[in-house]
Structure 1
């Protein structure tokens, strides 16, 4: 079974060859929080992680958004910019979806193949990174 987070806040770390990028993260894991997502917002600070999720829509959105589909290892499968009123098709290997303001992910170097980490407690814990088998390990 994959990693499960609770609704709340944390940090997203985007790993890269030229250094890491750390940014604010909002986590939406409950059905209610995932349904709400970025609806009705005009501004997004950092990114929103929807988990579990393999597709999104932008019906009712006020702004275009960047959408990154993540696999079970938190590796980026693909990144798309979606205008309001669109339906994103499900990605077969996607287990999580990141949303942010349009254009933000390019600046953060979130692109296909990039690896991200989720930090929910202020430290970079192994339970928020995939283990060698590819599934996030649980806290001890």
Structure 2
């Protein structure tokens, strides 16, 4: 007799609500588009509701993170007040990272992304809010 394991299957994840958009920039080069976790809920959720970390997540005012409930490993990039990289540490699933006391914010990203971009501790990046043009005013007669 075949057992039905579908009752134990993990339900598909819903698309998480959109977050504030930003760009990660090093000197004159745009590295990636990113999301910024602004609300308490976004900060707590992190990348948990995502299927991968193709879009990095910036968490302001943060010194340490966890990966409980995540489906994939990440790299945690710790930035100081000047957005200089203090440390880059890998974080496997269902782990707690050690805090980095000099950090002011963190960026959660795919493993080796910053190494691929040729960046490491001591390099500075900029986090620039993505500005979208305002909706055009209505031209219909009043």
Give the Cα separation in 2 of the matches to 1:84 and 1:95.
23
Q: 1:70 maps to which residue?
A: 79
**Cα deviation digits, residues 92-135 of structure 1 (max 9, x gap):** 11110001111222112231111010111449xxxxxxxxxxxx
Q: 2:22 maps to which residue?
A: 10
Cα pair distance change 1:85/1:62, threshold 3 Å: same
Give the Cα separation in 2 of the matches to 1:48 and 1:121.
14
CA contact (8 A) 1:14 1:109 kept: no
1:14 offset after TM fit, Å? 2.3
* Unaligned residue ranges in structure 1 (runs of 5+): 1-6, 124-140
* Unaligned residue ranges in structure 2 (runs of 5+): 1-18, 133-142
What is the TM-score with the length of structure 1 in the denominator? 0.74
Q: 1:50 maps to which residue?
A: 59
Secondary structure of residue in 1 paired with 2:125:
strand
1:44 offset after TM fit, Å? 2.4
Residue 95 of structure 1 pairs with residue 104 of structure 2: yes
Q: 1:115 maps to which residue?
A: 124
Give the Cα separation in 2 of the matches to 1:43 and 1:50.
17
RMSD, aligned CA? 1.8
Q: Any runs of at least 4 consecutive aligned residues in structure 1 with deviations exceeding 2 A, and if so which?
A: 19-22
Secondary structure of residue in 2 paired with 1:34:
helix
**Higher radius of gyration, 1 or 2:** 2
Give the Cα separation in 2 of the matches to 1:104 and 1:58.
17
Paired positions, count: 114
